[in-house]
């Protein structure tokens, strides 16, 4: 058994004449010799080792053609047009391939003991176990007989075949340092990161590592876009009063004063709870749907007081009411298009769990009067955006938090944003499918205590 590295054109690429063609890009190759053309044709047909490619070149161009071929082959790797595999007795056991943009030139074999990085991820892709490292535009497929080597790489060892180590090193899957200097444990730049956090950050902030990035409509040919507003689904509704914005503007403090006064207030005036009119005004000024339009892609878009990427406005707010003058307790949904509250669930164990969680998160001495549960209808964003879809949702949560904070401050209400929540508990209380619509933010809201400065 003698493992070797073999190469072929990357999946989806083809060679014709003087061009290597991908679906969205092409590499023009001028003045190819007969030997170079023959070698490129071999690469387009399947896996070949360096010796076979060199033989094809020298047969047509002589020994003098090898240098030109090596330069061309290096250029193909630098352009990310080549895949490399480990082959044992004619069978491929592992394959390195690009999933983004960048070089596929294999790295040198690492010296000394090696170990799999603690940031390495293994997932099933098209039925094959595939390894990825955060920040890398490359992936390594492991065939069934090779997957067992992951056990060996769980600790520092020197027994893994060198060709496989070269592919893993190229994809950034090996831990830096060694058993006497494990950088992932001793260097702050590595140690401060949780693997899931680093994977999320790297995937969404390094466009070259993703196959698609931005408004690529990954679901556009399979599903229709979701409606701009959800269909009414409440047990009963409460129509909210519409505030007079001109009257409010005439009496409210300046924007600068509001911005300077903004602070998180975790205590509520239990003797004088927030009123239905106050809750309605806060929701109207922060969230109401001001209008709709149709995008060039056919998706219905919306305008609200806070910004949203692509005007998709996927966020919905569910006021969970414990004490509000003029409004019964329970879990409500704010209908942004109708300025109404829809009752989603009566008070019970499921809603009590959400109230208790918010109270503990805010470190309050008593139950919050209202918990504003911010949910996302994920399909509104994911129908259009690839890779950046979930980060966009989180950005929208941030700007909604600030909008609610500023309006609540201007209204002299107590508001405090929370850092986490339980989507599962929301799903239980609301009956929503958490993969279709789940909570992504929470705030506690109430009347401002008279003693609060």
Give the model confidence (pLDDT) of 30-74 as tens digits.
Answer: 999 999 999 999 999 999 999 999 999 999 999 999 999 999 999
> Which residues, at least 6 apart from 175, have a Cβ–Cβ distance to it below 8 Å?
114, 115, 116, 117, 118, 182, 183, 184
Whole-number Cα distances in Å, 278 to 170, 257, 282, 381, 412: 59, 20, 6, 31, 10
CATH of 237-447, one of 3.40.50.80, 3.90.1300.10, 3.40.109.10, 3.40.50.11540: 3.40.109.10
Per the CB < 8 A criterion, the answer to whether 146 and 93 are in contact is yes
DSSP symbol at 444: E
Beta-carbon contacts of 279 under 8 Å, excluding residues fewer than 6 positions away, are 240, 319, 324, 327, 370, 445
pLDDT tens-digit readout, 248-296:
999 999 999 999 999 999 999 999 999 999 999 999 999 999 999 999 9
N-term to C-term CA, the chain? 77
For 14, residues 6+ apart whose C-beta sits below 8 A from its C-beta are 20, 21, 44
| CB-CB contact of 425 with 356 (8 Å) | no
Using a pLDDT cut of 90, give the percent of the chain over it. Answer: 91
Q: What is the pLDDT of residues 390-435, one digit of tens each?
A: 999 999 999 999 999 999 999 999 999 999 999 999 999 999 999 9
Helix axes of 65-78 and 34-45: crossing angle, nearest 10 degrees: 40
Q: How far apart are CA 393 and CA 437, in angstroms?
A: 12
Distance from C-alpha of 130 to C-alpha of 94, rounded to nearest angstrom: 9
Distance CA 126, CA 52 (A): 30
SS3 state of residue 387: coil
Q: Give residue limits of the domains in the chain.
A: 4-85, 107-209, 237-447
| Predicted local distance difference test score (pLDDT) of residue 83 | 98
3-class SS of residue 179: coil
Strand order in the sheet with 437-447: 237-239, 340-345, 330-335, 315-321, 370-377, 437-447, 413-418
List of residues 6+ apart from 240 with CB closer than 8 A: 276, 279, 280, 283, 284, 339, 340, 341
Give me the mean pLDDT over the 338-344 stretch.
97
- The predicted pLDDT at position 452 comes to 56
Is the pTM above the cut of 0.85? Answer: yes
What is the per-residue pLDDT for 256?
97
Mean residue pLDDT of the chain comes to 95
When pLDDT is averaged across residues 305-314 and rounded to a whole number, the result is 97
């Amino acid at each position: 058994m003698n493992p070797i590295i073999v190469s072929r054109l990357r999946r989806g690429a083809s060679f014709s004449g003087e061009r290597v063609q991908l679906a969205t890009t092409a590499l023009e190759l001028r003045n190819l010799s007969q030997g170079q053309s023959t070698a490129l044709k071999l690469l387009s047909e399947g896996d070949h080792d360096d010796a076979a490619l060199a033989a094809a070149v020298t047969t047509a161009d002589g020994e003098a053609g090898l240098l030109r071929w090596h330069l061309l082959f290096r250029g193909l790797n630098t352009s990310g047009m080549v895949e490399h595999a480990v082959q044992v007795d004619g069978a491929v056991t592992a394959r390195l391939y690009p999933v983004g943009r960048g070089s596929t030139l294999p790295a040198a074999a690492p010296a000394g003991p090696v170990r799999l990085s603690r940031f390495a991820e293994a997932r099933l892709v098209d039925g094959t176990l595939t390894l990825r490292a955060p920040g890398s535009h490359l992936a390594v497929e492991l065939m069934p007989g090779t997957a067992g080597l992951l056990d060996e790489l769980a600790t520092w060892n020197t027994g893994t075949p060198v060709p496989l180590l070269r592919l893993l090193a190229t994809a950034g899957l090996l831990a830096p340092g060694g058993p006497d200097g494990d950088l992932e444990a001793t260097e702050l730049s590595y140690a401060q990161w949780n693997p899931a956090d680093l994977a999320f950050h790297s995937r969404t902030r390094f466009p070259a590592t993703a196959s698609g990035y931005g408004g690529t409509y990954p679901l556009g040919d399979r599903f229709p876009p979701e409606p701009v507003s959800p269909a009414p689904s409440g047990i009963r509704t409460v129509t909210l009063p519409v505030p007079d914005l001109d009257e409010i503007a005439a009496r409210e403090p300046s924007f600068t004063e509001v911005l300077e006064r903004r602070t998180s207030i975790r205590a509520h005036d239990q003797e004088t709870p927030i009123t239905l009119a106050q809750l309605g005004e806060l929701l109207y000024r922060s969230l109401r749907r001001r209008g709709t339009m149709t995008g060039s892609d056919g998706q219905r878009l919306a305008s609200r007081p806070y910004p949203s990427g692509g005007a998709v406005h996927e966020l919905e707010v569910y006021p969970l009411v414990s004490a509000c003058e003029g409004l019964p307790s329970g879990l409500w949904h704010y209908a942004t298009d109708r300025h109404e509250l829809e009752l989603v669930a009566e008070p019970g164990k499921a809603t009590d769990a959400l109230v208790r969680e918010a109270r503990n998160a805010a470190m309050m001495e008593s139950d919050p009067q209202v918990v504003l549960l911010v949910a996302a209808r994920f399909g509104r964003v994911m129908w259009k955006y690839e890779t950046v879809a979930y980060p966009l949702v989180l950005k929208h949560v941030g700007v909604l938090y600030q909008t609610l904070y500023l309006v609540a401050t201007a209204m002299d209400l107590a508001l405090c944003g929370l850092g986490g929540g339980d989507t599962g508990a929301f799903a239980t209380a609301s009956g929503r499918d958490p993969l279709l619509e789940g909570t992504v933010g929470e705030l506690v809201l109430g009347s401002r205590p008279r003693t609060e400065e």
